Amino acid sequence: MADTTLPSLFVSHGSPMLALEPGAAGAFMQQLGPALDAAFGRPRAIVVASAHSLAREPGLLAAARHTTVHDFGGFPKPLYELRYDAPGAPELAARVAEHIRGAGLPVHVVSEGGLDHGIWIPLRFAYPGTDVPVLPLAFPADWSPRQLHALGRALAPLRSQGVLVLGSGSITHNLRLVFSRGTRADAPEMPESAAFRRWFAERSAAQDGEALFDYRRQAPHAALMHPSDEHLLPWYVAAGAGHEGPMRRVHDSVTMGCLGMDAYAFGAQVPLLQQQLAEAVAA
């Protein structure tokens, strides 16, 4: 019988305009859902930690159905007309809460719902049919990478139960740089952005968890690429969920010259996912 244990994933969602202008990252996300289905079967549910769902303590949004939250302003009208009203996963929420509390961590379960753009935009590409239940996991922005890795590790058993654990943020995220340099999607990448992304990919491939936990001191241009942590922190949740490794960058692109759109996969199943993605590109 084929192993149906899923890898965990981190995707960079970049600007909300990704929904209208997919580019290389959107094309990758469109391939991602079919690749996961082919390798492991359709996920029974998706637990998502997004940079835009933050709370004082971890919280699960356990609504029976979610609405699309357009949590941004100043964008073209067609962006606000897009919807992704996915089913929720209230029964799964109780099980996830047990895993988190079993790891000695706090968690709250609320009956409210709603999918921020860090959730619905990637999922709209990967699973456009809105047929996979979604359970958002809000997290504290003041938790350290090590704490969020522990939170993700508490979710690891879900992967063998057909649940996809997903972190959504951005591998680099400095909006002041984006707007000061103009907003051309095809702008050449800043050397500082390239250096940071390369360091992260190399330390991940080397399984160097201690360096990755200490990225703000060790990674080149860390404070420039992440003036605040929240867009990188979902990476650590996903890494914790796939803690047995390997950790691999499975997509590499940049937009607007400094907004990294890299995606990562974690866990023993990564090679199979990479094979499926390679076949999708070759087809």
- String of DSSP letters for 146-203: HHHHHHHHHHGGGGGGTEEEEEEE-SS--HHHHHHT---TTPPPPHHHHHHHHHHHHH
Q: What is the pLDDT of residues 91-111, one digit of tens each?
A: 999 999 999 999 999 999 999
Say whether pLDDT at 60 is over 70: yes
What count of Cα atoms within 13 Å lies in the side-chain half-sphere of residue 208?
14
Confidence class for position 280, pLDDT limits 50, 70, 90: confident
pLDDT digits (tens, 9 = 90+) for 225-268: 999 999 999 999 999 999 998 999 999 999 988 999 999 999 99
- Rounded to the nearest angstrom, the gap between the alpha carbon of residue 111 and the centroid of all alpha carbons in its chain is 23
Return d(Cα 183, Cα 203) in angstroms, integer. 30
**Average pLDDT, stretch 147-153?**
98
pLDDT digits (tens, 9 = 90+) for 163-193: 999 999 999 999 888 877 666 778 889 999 9
The confidence band for 143, taking pLDDT boundaries of 50, 70 and 90, is very high
Overall pTM > 0.85: yes
The pLDDT of residue 2 is above 70: no
Pinpoint the alpha helices (H) of 18-144.
23-40, 77-80, 90-102, 117-126
CATH class, domain 8-282, is: alpha beta
Distance CA 233, CA 98 (A): 22
Cis? peptide before 246, omega within 30° of 0: yes
Helix (H, G, I), strand (E, B) or coil at 227: coil
Please give the pLDDT value at position 250: 98
Per domain, the residue ranges of the chain are: 8-282
- Give the pLDDT confidence score for residue 182 in this predicted structure: 62
Q: What percent of the chain has pLDDT over 90?
A: 89
**Other CB atoms within 10 Å distance of the CB of residue 244:** 12
Confidence band of 11 (pLDDT split at 50, 70, 90): very high
- pLDDT confidence of residue 179: 74
Burial class (CB in 10 A: 0-12, 13-18, 19+), 73: exposed
Binned at pLDDT 50, 70 and 90, residue 3 comes out as: low
pLDDT reported for residue 1 = 34
CA distance linking residue 49 with residue 138, whole number of Å: 6
